[in-house]
Structure 1
């Protein structure tokens, strides 16, 4: 995901950004499409949040989350919103291929697709490929967890919202990560305890069991948190883990959604565990 942005591409940034925004044509890569919202800053290379939509969603729908998008671009971040693939004929929205092949055949290699998107956004829109946070909501949050588990070095940090793992959970993850999970206390679509779908064909996993997997992966000192913090309505807890890893969990009073204040909170965390840690 590393690369240089040609001077010519930088000169074309305003037009390219408009062309691939919420209402214009999407950007194309060999494996799919994406949209992007750019910050109004003079910085030649923008950090970014690659944000994955929920089941049946679209990249355009992500950019319609105006409160979240505006909060991110106001901090100088581009918001990259890729499109999942339809999982059945005639489906207008998309889904992500995160379940193991023995549970559901993959529609595409999502890790390869995200790498394509970042490379294209770096060349065409001036995104810094080394400063991209992978975030996602609901099914997008599940995708974030699975990609972090399988390829921990794909992104510098991960921030799932309202999505964890399915049952059975992975037996182990490939290596430590920096991960910040946010979840609604009243979430009934992805409850903290998990729930069955389609008469038990699929079972959403227990969010706390997923956190236990991350504590094991990150070699955290104890199962109970090492610290607590309140940020607005967010009740946060973090664990002291292996050097180079981070693990934090935030509960908010609402249900299934991306809450107000999430963007500022997660960017402050991202910069603290990446930029400030360098």
Structure 2
């Protein structure tokens, strides 16, 4: 074999040995790490939010960058989720502008979302007790000394907001209910403690009719408001203001606010808005803004 052939053979051999290192081993590529998705209440967490657990339930929490001056609680519908109701009202925006820590917890009733019916025995109090304990935990963990608590409920979450206004009015500053009224017997709500109320509802809502329905013991919006007008000591006189539309399909909003109330009661009629809609959180807030006064 001539010298040139031997040199070529040597080059080929070295290539097979991966650079003439002599080991003959191949370099193994490491797989890319699987991204970790943090979840809460069964859904992915958005940037800036966190998750807490209490009594085997999870709740999404968002803390404003400035000083915390109170708590905003967001109650989901059925079916629904803490993440969905947080988006409907834009919990982050409310937290930042009003200096409130927002918390969106899970309900325990698979069909109704929450144990929101009011009956003479008031036997099902698990959700009421849970919210009280949740408020205590949020205050303790974040050193909150104010008593400001705002309840935001959508659909079944609105049902639960009214139950809380009945059962623990001393813990609540105001409730905002979107498409969800009182459930059960008014005799089970004998409180005389006023709570600020702002109710949003559309006459075109078919899932939760503004006139109420027997299934689920859902009272009409008129009956619901009349109960709180009495509790809050309002007169029969009200002022009417026109507001922008809360969804692309709406023709506008008309808000009634009653006079002489110890705590304000308002009702916003959402013209031509279905139950499930792409609500404008910004417009909703523009309308209920007086609850923060």
TM range (shorter): 0.7 to 0.9
Deviations for 1:214-260, whole angstroms, at most 9, x for unmatched residues? 122222222xx4211122233111112343x2111111221214731
Is the radius of gyration larger for structure 1 or structure 2?
2
Match of 1:227 among 239, 243, 246: 239
Partner of 2:25: none
CA positional deviation for 1:151? 2.7
Partner of 1:6: none
Q: 1:29 to 1:19 in 2, by over 3 A?
A: same
- Alignment gaps of 5+ in structure 1: 1-17, 89-93, 273-278
Q: Is the 8 A contact 1:84 1:96 kept in 2?
A: yes
Give 1:229-248 correspondences, 5 Å limit: 229-233=241-245, 234-243=253-262, 245-248=263-266
Q: Is the 8 A contact 1:140 1:163 kept in 2?
A: yes
Q: Tell me how far apart the structure 2 counterparts of residues 23 and 129 of structure 1 sit (CA, whole Å).
A: 31
Taking structure 2 as the reference length, what is the TM-score of the superposition? 0.70
Give 1:63-212 correspondences, 5 Å limit: 63=86, 65=87, 68-75=90-97, 76-87=99-110, 95-100=113-118, 106=124, 108-125=125-142, 130-166=147-183, 168-170=185-187, 172-175=189-192, 176-197=194-215, 202-212=216-226
Q: Tell me how far apart the structure 2 counterparts of residues 209 and 118 of structure 1 sit (CA, whole Å).
A: 29
Q: Tell me how far apart the structure 2 counterparts of residues 126 and 116 of structure 1 sit (CA, whole Å).
A: 15
CA positional deviation for 1:81? 0.1
Deviations for 1:175-228, whole angstroms, at most 9, x for unmatched residues? 12211111123211111111243xxxx342111111111122222222xx4211
Match of 1:38 among 56, 63, 66: 63
Q: Is the 8 A contact 1:20 1:36 kept in 2?
A: no
Taking structure 1 as the reference length, what is the TM-score of the superposition? 0.73
Q: Is the 8 A contact 2:118 2:185 kept in 1?
A: no
Taking only aligned residues, the RMSD between alpha carbons, in angstroms, comes to: 3.0
Q: Tell me how far apart the structure 1 counterparts of residues 54 and 149 of structure 2 sit (CA, whole Å).
A: 18
4+ runs deviating over 4 angstroms = 18-22, 101-105, 125-129
Q: Is the 8 A contact 1:71 1:264 kept in 2?
A: no
Deviations for 1:104-127, whole angstroms, at most 9, x for unmatched residues? 962x53222112212222333465
Q: Tell me how far apart the structure 1 counterparts of residues 259 and 166 of structure 2 sit (CA, whole Å).
A: 19
Greater length-normalized contact order (CA 8 Å, ≥ 6 residues apart): 1
